[in-house]
Structures are given as structure tokens and as C-alpha cells.
């Protein structure tokens, strides 16, 4: 059984006490410095098949200041020291060059971002993954075959609840772990956020450590993790 450790702490303090290459893989979603944590006032609109425009109620998150800042060089010094490989969402905001992962959200004609890009240290190529993530429209497949990726879950009760403004789906993290991690790897997430990475690591049997400085997000992520893992036990 995997060992999942969730910490309410400053990741810099935690990493400072680690030996070199303590983790095989770090998967992190950094501050972009673009104010993503500031609640949006614009409506989320979706164009339906009949051509009409549907206004979807936007989730209002508590205003936070974390995403108006950016991690400094010391953060990356620690991260690259304690992990053998890295997947860094928003890495290109920091000028990181190398391989890339492009997540196409299949948003269609909505007013939301079409994709997100992560830096990856494994090679110089660019990988593309499809997963529908557009408000109440969420996919049931995470991969490279567009026809499958366009399928919706169908039952909206199975949709992931949104607890963080930059939350990413558990299925996306499962795809990352399946394609970039090896059995027995230890996984680090310095910016736990919604806890999706922890849930995916648990589901796939990876040892995992996640750090979250914000107490509100940490408590929400722990609650979500407990609910999701309880469901896993019930359905085994």
C-alpha cells in the first residue's frame, strides 16, 4: 500500500531538510504570477449543439494573494536538488526550456483557456494529452485519442468538485504518473492545492509527499483526499 503524506508547511523548509535526489519525480503546479487566484467576474459561457449560449454559474473562490507572486531561484535550486525529474505546470512562465506536456482541455467555444503547458525534464519532445475540463463538462478519458477524450462522464454527480482556482483533474495526474513514473518511484508535490496529485498517487500505488502552505487549501485538500480514498475502499 502506498504511503501518502500531506503537510501543512512551507515547501522550502521541507526541501531544505531533504537529501539529494530524495524523490524520483516532482510534479508541481506553481504560482504563475498572473492573478489566477483572483475571482473572475466574467460569466462562463458554453455554446450548445443547437447554437444557443448557456451561461454556467462560475465557482467563486476566496480571494488569495498567492498567485500575484512567483517562486524564486532558491525554490528551483531546492526542487532540482531533491528530485531526479520534474513536471512543472507553468514552468514556461519561469523561462524553463526543455520538453513539454500540452493539456488540451477540449473547451470548445467557451471563454476559458484552451490548454495548459507543463515543462518536463525527461526529454526534449512535446507530448499532447486530451481531457475535457470545462466547468460542468468533464471527460471520462485521459489520453491521446480525441474521439474518446471528447466523451463526457455523463453523470454530472461523478464530476470532480472544484475547491481551488487552478485545480487539475485526478485523471490528468493518473495519466502523468502512468506515462512518466515507474513502479516504486516516490513523488513530490510542493504545491498541493486541491490534492488531485495525492489522490492519483494513492490510486496508482505511489508513495507521495505533498506540501501546502495555505491552511484553508490544506484542510480542503485533506477532506477531499479522505472522501476520495474512502470511496476507493468501498468499491474495491
- What CATH number does residue 147 fall under? 3.40.50.150
**229 has a pLDDT exceeding 60:** yes
- What's the whole-model pTM score? 0.86
Count how many domains the chain has: 1
- 173-179 long-range CB contacts below 8 Å, 24 or more apart? 173/27, 173/197, 173/199, 173/200, 173/201, 174/142, 174/200, 174/203, 174/204, 175/129, 175/131, 175/142, 175/143, 176/27, 176/87, 176/101, 176/200, 177/27, 177/201, 177/204, 177/206, 178/204, 179/127
**pLDDT tens per residue across span 144-160:** 888 888 777 666 777 88
- Which residue range(s) make up the domain with 28? 4-235
**For residues 91-113, average pLDDT:** 85
**37 has a pLDDT exceeding 60:** no
Amino acid at each position: 500500500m502506498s504511503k501518502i503524506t500531506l503537510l501543512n508547511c512551507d515547501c522550502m523548509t521541507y526541501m531544505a531538510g531533504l537529501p539529494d535526489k530524495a524523490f524520483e519525480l516532482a510534479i508541481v503546479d506553481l504560482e504563475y504570477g498572473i492573478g489566477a487566484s483572483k475571482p473572475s467576474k466574467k460569466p462562463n459561457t458554453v455554446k450548445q449543439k443547437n447554437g444557443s449560449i448557456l451561461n454556467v454559474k462560475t465557482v467563486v473562490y476566496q480571494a488569495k494573494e498567492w498567485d500575484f507572486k512567483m517562486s524564486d531561484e532558491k525554490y528551483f535550486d531546492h526542487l532540482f536538488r531533491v528530485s531526479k525529474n520534474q513536471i512543472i505546470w507553468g514552468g514556461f512562465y519561469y523561462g524553463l526550456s526543455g520538453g513539454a506536456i500540452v493539456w488540451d482541455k477540449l473547451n470548445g467555444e467557451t471563454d476559458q483557456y484552451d490548454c495548459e503547458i507543463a515543462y518536463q525534464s525527461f526529454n526534449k519532445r512535446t507530448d499532447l494529452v486530451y481531457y475535457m475540463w470545462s466547468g460542468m463538462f468533464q471527460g471520462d478519458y485521459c489520453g491521446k485519442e480525441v474521439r474518446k477524450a471528447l466523451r463526457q462522464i455523463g453523470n454530472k454527480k461523478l464530476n470532480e468538485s472544484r475547491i481551488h482556482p487552478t485545480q487539475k483533474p485526478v485523471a490528468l495526474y493518473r495519466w502523468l504518473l502512468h506515462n512518466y513514473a515507474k513502479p516504486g518511484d516516490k513523488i513530490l508535490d510542493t504545491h498541493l492545492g486541491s490534492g488531485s496529485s495525492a489522490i492519483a498517487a494513492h490510486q496508482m500505488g505511489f508513495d507521495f509527499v505533498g506540501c501546502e502552505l495555505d491552511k484553508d487549501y490544506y484542510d480542503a485538500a485533506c477532506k477531499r483526499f479522505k472522501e476520495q480514498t474512502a470511496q476507493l475502499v468501498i468499491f474495491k
